[in-house]
Structure 1
Amino acid sequence: MAEQAEDQKQDVSNDAGQKPEMDKPGGGAPVDETADANANREEEISTGGKNLEIGNFRVFTDLRLPEFDMGHCKAYAADNLRRSEGNAFALVTDPVLPTRYDLIKFLSGVHMAGQIDLLDSAIAHWPIFGRKTMVLFFEKPKGGHVIVSSGKQRSINEQDIAASVVEPLMNVLQALGEKGLTHRAVRATNLFFGDPEGGKVILGDCASGPPGYDQPLVYETTARMAADPAGRGVGTLSDDLYALGMTLAELAIGRRPLASMTDQEIMDIKLSKGSFQAIASQEKLPLIMIEPVRGLLCDDPEERWGFAELHAWLDGRRTKPVQGNTEKRAARSQNISGKDYYTVRALAQGVAKNWVNALTPLRDGTVEIWLRRGLGDNDRAKAMADAMRQLQWAGADKRSAEEVLVARSILILDPSGPVRYKGFSAMVDGFGNMLSYDVQHGSGPQRFSDVIVRDIPAFWFGRQEGYSPEVQRLQSAYKNLRYYIQQKSAGYGYERCLYSMVRNQHCLSPMIEQEYVVDIAQLLPALEKAAENVSDDAWPVDRHIAAFIATRLEDDVEGQLMAMQNPSDEVEYSRAIISMLAVVQWRHGPDNLQNLSHWVARLMEPAVKVFHSKARRERVETEIPKLAKRGNLVELYNLINDEQERRKDQSEFVEAVAEYSEAESEVFDLESSGPARLEMAEKVGQQAAAFASTMIALLTVSALFLMHIF
């Protein structure tokens, strides 16, 4: 592999030093994988022949493999240092898009027929990004891409699609479905030939970004296609089967269906005609593919083909015919901003796209009348009337109530679609990834917070029919989100929501964001590195780190978070922070954190104030530098949180206070009774003097009398 790297370096020496826009964090927007091959050649990079050792692999950063790019991620040549056989390549993920933890964990080191082999994954510093990111290592498919970079499709005989494509892809979807997982990256441009002869295809990566993020809009169901790419959600097996149907359509046609249309035009035609009819009216499908494509592209998930129908088709048996594949159309249209809509789902999208102008027909009852008379849908009409009545009870905050009315009206019209509020559009199971995208791409958390605070997801749950364990799970999680958003202190807010919902979200604290800390065990080493260049007055736990610890640590830290609610109480605030970090080190190490310990030691002055005894404080202050050198946060925390010493200090303090009070009382008595004592002394002195004078006079008279007699 090293020789191959040298060869390619010579071949591309004329392009050395060129850096494509996509090779930077945040450059991983959904891409058109059928771009011209010349564009890929321009993305080849040279970094002076350097290579990196990441885990068990050596990655050649100047040897691009554009033929193995997947979605928004770039591929690079790699050697497996533990195996002499086999060819590996590295797929570098975008650090500002969360990866899929569940799939990485499930697929790593597992061979699954129909799915590209994920050999391993690691977090490493990527020099082109100048920061750390997740790198996935795959086994090279032996046959290359089914859709080459020029957009042309390599030949697959339509008679062989069943055995070459459907069977292996069904195997993957069944295996994932048994574990409660979804692929959400089933598309023709993500297919490779598993052998040089092209007998079987395999699916490419599905774990490098949010589910559905790289899917072309035409591949998304009519329910999910209105969501932003980052918020399309994990979905269900039925969503993967729909994507399988579109994949078969693309392979059968030889190009992406509806490729000449814009995304808005695709949405319009799918909503007005239904998915299958939209394809059939614009493209010519081979006769043999009409039945499976029709069944898999059914817009009603209850009627959509499953594995039973696919197996029956593979075996040549007749399957149940697909029932009505289009929504009910109204006899007359409902106009919004000059455009006519005939179905409820199309109208929902029209309302979302014309947020301000849609308020008038909603408020004056025009939409309610259209639902009742045009569609004969009394249930939706009643729900719309109820929403209007709630607007009348809104009180002073009329504007907010009107915005909630529009959002609820969209859900009344399209209850299975995304939650849409102003510019926010995400499926409920895609909220976490949507929040992550907004926070890391400049929009911020406000849109998400507004949706949660206004309780719009609760209305979505109320519009779902029947019982679904997944909906129940999402509803339980949503209740926690409302509580977190309502709490304003560190460890809560949108930060807590983010790390709770997105398992593979790296910590976004500015202190350690570049270190790509995904697991709690990575936190303290990252802070140890950050401590080398930190200001003296900075705290090692901010809102992001507090929320990250609260969601990733096995131990309950709610007590520490409560203590952090009042930063003005320096004693409790500093003790809470030291306690949290000490618990993390106790659970996950490492044992020696000298930089972080010295950082914490500089901030321990408020915590030392917990002791009343001057001598004890001086002893603790003397011990702090000694323990800091040992790099053990647990010992530092125990030093200021020794319960026996604290009780003894408190007892001595109480005794000292009592003694001081008694002495002060005596002094007060002495000082306050001085004049009375002086008057009494004067009287006693006078009495003593009078008594003494009398006695002396009596003695003198007696002596004179005796002298006179004798």
Structure 2
Amino acid sequence: MAEQAEDQEQDVSNGAATGPVMDAPGGGAPAPEEPEESPELDGVAINAGGKSVEIGNFRVFLDLRMPEFDMGHCKAYSADNLRREEGSAFALVTDPVLPTRHDHLTFLAGMHMAGQIDLIDYETAYWPPIGRKTMVLFYEKPAGGKVVAREHKKLAIDEHDIATVVVEPLMNAMQAFSEKGLAHRNIRADNLFFADPMREKVVLGDCASGPPGYDQPAVYETTARMSADPAGRGSGNATDDFYALGMTLAELGIGRQPLKKLNDQEIIELKLAKGSFQAIASHEKLPLVLIEPVRGLLCDDPEERWGLAELNAWLDGRRTKPVQANTEKRAARSQNLAGRDYYTVRSLAQGIAKNWVTALGPLRDSTVEVWLRRGLGDNDRAKALSDAMRQLQWAGTDKRSAEDVLVARSILILDPAGPIRFKGFSSMVDGLGFMLSYDVQHGKGPQRFADVIVRDIPSFWFGRQMGYSPEVQRQQQLYKNLRYYIQQQSAGYGYERCLYATVRNQHCLSPLVEEEYVVEIADLLPALEKAAETASEESWPVDRHIAAFIAARLEDDVEGQLLAMQNPSDEVEYSRAIISMLAIVQWRHGPDNLQNLSHWVARLMEPAIKVFHSKARRERVETEIPKLAKRGNLVELYNLINDEQERRKDQSEFVEAVAEYSEAESEVFDLESSGPARMELAEKVGQQAAAFASTMIALLTVSALFLMHIF
């Protein structure tokens, strides 16, 4: 394979294209060819011929596909590491409508680990073939090429060498993941590469470019997870990886994928009916040397499944405890549903999920309950089913919804370790976020997820789990938050908040920045700065997605701002809340200069200015806004309208002005309303004064006459 890759590179250097560029996101038709006239687009340097791009420290060759290093849904391209002269790399281009795995990227980047391909770096960059940004992962090229040839011929690995060539290095990688509380969830024969030219050791391929288990064939998934939709198979744990290792050994021993001739539904039914190991052993011929480890690793009971201790004992040639038969208990008589007979509870659960409407009858008339008691002697499940039926009778008027809940709960009673199934929705609890992301970005919308959460079906799943598990407890706490978010309809909550709270590497889906692939909060404002160039004057720079993204990613508490955004009709508080959120993001993460965004915000600040009562102060603020906008600092703009000292002074002056106005108005009112009474009083007083004056004049006159008479 390595030689083939070198020959391919040589052919391309001579002008021969080796394959098509990456398909459009979501598996659609390819986007138009990349523009050749622009030497730099969205920060990515494109060479004059448009045949390569520089992303970070790497040059990626657009016309040099490397299909032997494709990993699942992601396509590989030849790449040069511009910082290193030794070694060779390739670029793995992710699908922008499938979120990557944050914890795995941060764990693997820059680390060398035996048994795992080296992840040199990863970057979010504009990818010309699809005309938008996505995440590109840069891996060290394995020196020995891919393990499984594209022709699907039997491998050149002796069955006696599988222990040292495959099992030992993979055990090392699995242990490292487990110690970090992570699961690889992408272990399969098609994802193995020879680490050295001599092909003495293998390494696992990518595990971070998409949802956990998304690229795994159904046969590689445990009986608990295989019924979930690919996007909802969940993060899982180390026991899921050991199961996948067992199926990998089976494929390497057989020379092709086990049960290849069966479709996914037939594989699920076969494994549920016979158990995983028996399903493989009855259809495939395993090498004798691999029967023991494959049997132990494919045990359907995770408590009995082989782990590191058992594998080490097998490698050392020591005998390990025999694995108990792990087939489910079969009923003496079958339970018929939609014309098919079922003998085990888990197969019946799958049958109910596939025949949602038809299954309601046998559940309501207690046929399934009687079958559980008499056919299997399972009184616990029968009682739980009876209790669920009793709750249906108390449902009130919403019978249709209650019936759907009954069917969903019945499935969980029959198969408590399996996925949550509701009509066409099927997801493990730890895969709910990835399932929501897939539905939203592939046209199905959030309604299926919302129905599951609103009807509280995950709570019933938690109640059916036995024993204590820290992982289950963590998921339960997360689910409580999801219920709260989905019940709130205002901006910053709803399904948008659920999405960003559950999927750490989900990029913001706001139409304003969606194509910029904003995963980190620090990249949000630069994306909005670009959007501001063409934004309409009436639009706001914060919509439901951006509000939820900030609330989920920002370390600061913005619940106060979200509360203010609940009432868009209150323009003053609504505008102040939006400006405040953006200012906090710039204060925490920069950049310092956001002129386009600042001018966009400045145009929308008119309602916020209304907080001031003083006309002079308003005019002064309106004069300052354009000056601050030119400086591109949202914090200064927000402080301008949120200066507490100025606001208190304005409020104090307003209160004083109101008091003075009230006093003056009262005086005017008194003068205007008491006019006639004052005239009557004045007339009365005038009459009294005139009478008194007349009396005094008369007395003075009489006194003067009397004195003149005497003298």
> What's the TM-score bracket when you normalise by the shorter of the two chains?
over 0.9
**How many angstroms apart in 1 are the aligned matches of 2:494 and 2:452?**
14
Structure 1 equivalent of residue 153 of structure 2: 152
Displacement of 1:150: 2.7
Structure 2 equivalent of residue 421 of structure 1: 422
**How many angstroms apart in 1 are the aligned matches of 2:515 and 2:6?**
29
Structure 2 equivalent of residue 38 of structure 1: none
Q: Does 1:271 align with 2:272?
A: yes
Query: What are the equivalent positions in structure 2 for 1:359-370 lying under 5 Å apart?
Result: 359-370=360-371
**How many angstroms apart in 2 are the aligned matches of 1:305 and 1:610?**
68
Query: What are the equivalent positions in structure 2 for 1:20-59 lying under 5 Å apart?
Result: 23-27=23-27, 48-59=49-60
Q: Does 1:678 align with 2:679?
A: yes
What are the superposed Cα offsets for residues 89-138 of structure 1, whole Å, 9 maximum, x if unpaired? 00000001000110110001111111111000000000111111000000
Structure 1 counterpart of 2:641, one-letter code: I
Structure 1 equivalent of residue 479 of structure 2: 478
**How many angstroms apart in 2 are the aligned matches of 1:455 and 1:9?**
58
Structure 1 equivalent of residue 610 of structure 2: 609
Displacement of 1:685: 4.0
Displacement of 1:7: 4.2
Q: 431-440 or 539-548: which moved more?
A: 539-548
Q: Does 1:220 align with 2:228?
A: no
Displacement of 1:11: 4.8
* 8 Å Cα contact 2:154-2:254 kept in structure 1: no
Query: What are the equivalent positions in structure 2 for 1:546-585 lying under 5 Å apart?
Result: 546-585=547-586
What are the superposed Cα offsets for residues 150-173 of structure 1, whole Å, 9 maximum, x if unpaired? 333431111111111111111110
Structure 2 counterpart of 1:394, one-letter code: A
Q: Does 1:8 align with 2:41?
A: no
Structure 2 equivalent of residue 66 of structure 1: 67
Displacement of 1:696: 7.0
Structure 1 counterpart of 2:599, one-letter code: H
**How many angstroms apart in 2 are the aligned matches of 1:253 and 1:5?**
33
Query: Runs of 5+ in structure 2 lacking a partner?
Result: 30-46
Structure 1 equivalent of residue 138 of structure 2: 137
Closer, same or farther: CA 2–507 of 1 in aligned 2, 3 Å: farther
Displacement of 1:286: 1.0
Closer, same or farther: CA 314–705 of 1 in aligned 2, 3 Å: closer
**How many angstroms apart in 2 are the aligned matches of 1:469 and 1:652?**
58
* 8 Å Cα contact 1:274-1:326 kept in structure 2: yes
Paired residue total: 690
What are the superposed Cα offsets for residues 647-702 of structure 1, whole Å, 9 maximum, x if unpaired? 11111111111111110110000001111122233344445556666777788899
**How many angstroms apart in 2 are the aligned matches of 1:239 and 1:144?**
26
* 8 Å Cα contact 1:28-1:94 kept in structure 2: no
Structure 2 equivalent of residue 508 of structure 1: 509
Structure 1 equivalent of residue 296 of structure 2: 295
* 8 Å Cα contact 1:47-1:61 kept in structure 2: no
* 8 Å Cα contact 1:272-1:343 kept in structure 2: yes
* 8 Å Cα contact 2:52-2:59 kept in structure 1: yes
Q: Secondary structure at the match of 1:62?
A: strand
What are the superposed Cα offsets for residues 526-583 of structure 1, whole Å, 9 maximum, x if unpaired? 1111111101111111111111111111111111111111111111111111111111
What are the superposed Cα offsets for residues 502-521 of structure 1, whole Å, 9 maximum, x if unpaired? 11111111100111111111
Q: Does 1:491 align with 2:495?
A: no
Structure 2 equivalent of residue 95 of structure 1: 96
Q: Does 1:397 align with 2:398?
A: yes
Displacement of 1:4: 7.9
* 8 Å Cα contact 1:28-1:72 kept in structure 2: no
**How many angstroms apart in 2 are the aligned matches of 1:691 and 1:477?**
95
Structure 1 counterpart of 2:104, one-letter code: L
**How many angstroms apart in 2 are the aligned matches of 1:117 and 1:603?**
49
**How many angstroms apart in 2 are the aligned matches of 1:167 and 1:323?**
25
* 8 Å Cα contact 2:429-2:475 kept in structure 1: yes
Question: TM-score by structure 2 length?
Answer: 0.94
**How many angstroms apart in 2 are the aligned matches of 1:156 and 1:126?**
38
Q: Does 1:654 align with 2:646?
A: no
**How many angstroms apart in 2 are the aligned matches of 1:49 and 1:667?**
82
Displacement of 1:301: 0.8
Percent of residue pairs bearing the same amino acid type: 81
What are the superposed Cα offsets for residues 320-374 of structure 1, whole Å, 9 maximum, x if unpaired? 1110121000011101100110000000000000000000000100000000000
Q: Secondary structure at the match of 2:324?
A: coil
Closer, same or farther: CA 115–463 of 1 in aligned 2, 3 Å: same
**How many angstroms apart in 2 are the aligned matches of 1:304 and 1:684?**
113
**How many angstroms apart in 2 are the aligned matches of 1:474 and 1:514?**
31
Structure 2 equivalent of residue 82 of structure 1: 83
**How many angstroms apart in 1 are the aligned matches of 2:107 and 2:133?**
23
Query: What are the equivalent positions in structure 2 for 1:218-257 lying under 5 Å apart?
Result: 218-257=219-258
Query: Runs of 5+ in structure 1 lacking a partner?
Result: 30-45
Question: TM-score by structure 1 length?
Answer: 0.94
What are the superposed Cα offsets for residues 185-206 of structure 1, whole Å, 9 maximum, x if unpaired? 1001101111122111111101
**How many angstroms apart in 1 are the aligned matches of 2:112 and 2:696?**
126
Structure 2 equivalent of residue 383 of structure 1: 384
Structure 1 equivalent of residue 38 of structure 2: none
* 8 Å Cα contact 2:530-2:596 kept in structure 1: yes
Displacement of 1:52: 1.1
Displacement of 1:48: 4.5
Q: Secondary structure at the match of 1:218?
A: helix
Closer, same or farther: CA 536–153 of 1 in aligned 2, 3 Å: farther
Structure 1 equivalent of residue 634 of structure 2: 633
